[in-house]
Structure 1
Amino acid sequence: MYDVYLNERNDLLVVPRGNSIPIDLNRNWRKKRIVRSVSEQIREDVRLYGYHRRKLPLSRSMKTLAEKQA
């Protein structure tokens, strides 16, 4: 099982359940949920590095808002 976190910059962090957030990634992470299964890529990253981190894409509404402001 894995813990899933999000931060204010819309980054995704996945760590094994019960593990702490790596010290070099320690920002304002908010715990979103606990998941039982993840993709092979995430599982491999967690196995190799102890965590998986990636930038999530903006939602359509956020993209539209950003385009209007530009």
Structure 2
Amino acid sequence: MYDVYLGGKNDLLVIRHGLPIPSKLGGNWRKKKRTVRSVSEGIREDVEKRGYHWRKLANQVR
């Protein structure tokens, strides 16, 4: 299971459920309300390798 956080500048952070946010990624993170049970294979590999997955979200056109 994974926790998903959103940052102030369209950032996405995925970490294993219950682990703290890495200190080098400090900032203002807002946790999504629910824990995610599954993620894509690329995100899962990134979390296993580095302990987290971080990326910029695409700008949304309104």
TM-score range, shorter chain: over 0.9
SS at match of 1:60: coil
Q: Please report the TM-score for the alignment, with normalisation by the length of structure 1.
A: 0.84
Q: CA deviation at 1:36?
A: 0.3
1:36 — aligned with what?
37
Q: Which runs of 5+ in 2 are unaligned?
A: none
> 1:49, CA displacement in angstroms?
0.2
Normalized per residue, the structure richer in helix is 1
Deviation at 1:26, TM superposition (A): 1.2
Give every structure 1 segment of 4 or more consecutive aligned residues whose post-TM-superposition deviation is greater than 4 Å: none
Instruction: Kindly state the Cα deviation for residue 51 of structure 1 after the two structures are TM-superposed.
Output: 0.1
Match of 1:35, SS state, is coil
- Equivalent residue for 2:58? 57
Distance 2:25 2:38 in 1: 23
Unaligned runs of 5+ in 1: 62-70
The answer to whether 1:4 aligns with 2:14 is no
Identity of aligned residues (%): 62
Q: Which has the higher contact order (CA 8 A, sep 6+)?
A: 2
Instruction: Give the whole-Å Cα distance in 2 for the aligned partners of 1:59 and 1:35.
Output: 23
